[in-house]
């Protein structure tokens, strides 16, 4: 069965500092990988996705993630964060050809001025 582990439940960083949110998955088959973001009082929205091809994926708002098959990881990064990036971030995985997503527990990113 698939599973997703987000290693940090909370990550506090200062504004304009770099950030990495860690995600590891387990699956017996090839996968698609996603990061979703949930801003306060809003629904989940897609940040970026990896389906195939280049392992470095760029998303909205300056975020990027790198798929590492050997380490079964899909860590999310941003070189310089802003106050507006304060949100909950969810990593998710689905099997090739499958429709349902399995989500991690989420990482709460807090940006301090």
Partner 1 sequence: GAGVSQTPSNKVTEKGKYVELRCDPISGHTALYWYRQSLGQGPEFLIYFQGTGAADDSGLPNDRFFAVRPEGSVSTLKIQRTERGDSAVYLCASSLWGYNSPLHFGNGTRLTVT
* Site of interaction with partner 1 (CB under 8 A): 4, 6, 9, 32, 36, 41-46, 49, 51, 90, 92, 94, 96-106
Give CA–CA dist 40/101, Å, rounded: 22
Report the residue number, 55 or 80, with the smaller CB distance to partner 1. 55
Q: Compute the least distance from the CB of residue 59 to partner 1, in Å.
A: 11
Q: Compute the least distance from the CB of residue 23 to partner 1, in Å.
A: 11
Report the residue number, 54 or 100, with the smaller CB distance to partner 1. 100
Report the residue number, 91 or 111, with the smaller CB distance to partner 1. 91
Write out the two tokens for 9. 């439940």
Report the residue number, 9 or 80, with the smaller CB distance to partner 1. 9
Give CA–CA dist 111/48, Å, rounded: 21
Q: Compute the least distance from the CB of residue 38 to partner 1, in Å.
A: 8
Query: Please, where are the H alpha helices in 1-113?
Result: none
**103 close to 35: Cβ distance less than 8 angstroms:** no
Q: What share of the chain is helix, strand, coil (3-state, %, to 5)?
A: 5, 55, 40
Q: Compute the least distance from the CB of residue 80 to partner 1, in Å.
A: 25
Give CA–CA dist 81/29, Å, rounded: 34
């Amino acid at each position: 069965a698939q599973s997703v582990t987000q290693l940090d439940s909370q990550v506090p960083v200062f504004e304009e500092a770099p950030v990495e949110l860690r995600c590891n998955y387990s699956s017996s088959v090839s996968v698609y990988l996603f990061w979703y973001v949930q801003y306060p009082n809003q629904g989940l929205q897609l940040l970026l996705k990896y389906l195939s091809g280049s392992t470095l994926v760029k998303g909205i708002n300056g975020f990027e993630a790198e798929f590492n098959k050997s380490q079964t990881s899909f860590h999310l990064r941003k070189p310089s964060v802003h106050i507006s990036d304060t949100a909950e971030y969810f990593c998710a995985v689905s099997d090739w050809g499958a429709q349902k997503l399995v989500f991690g527990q989420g990482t709460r990113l807090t940006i301090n001025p």
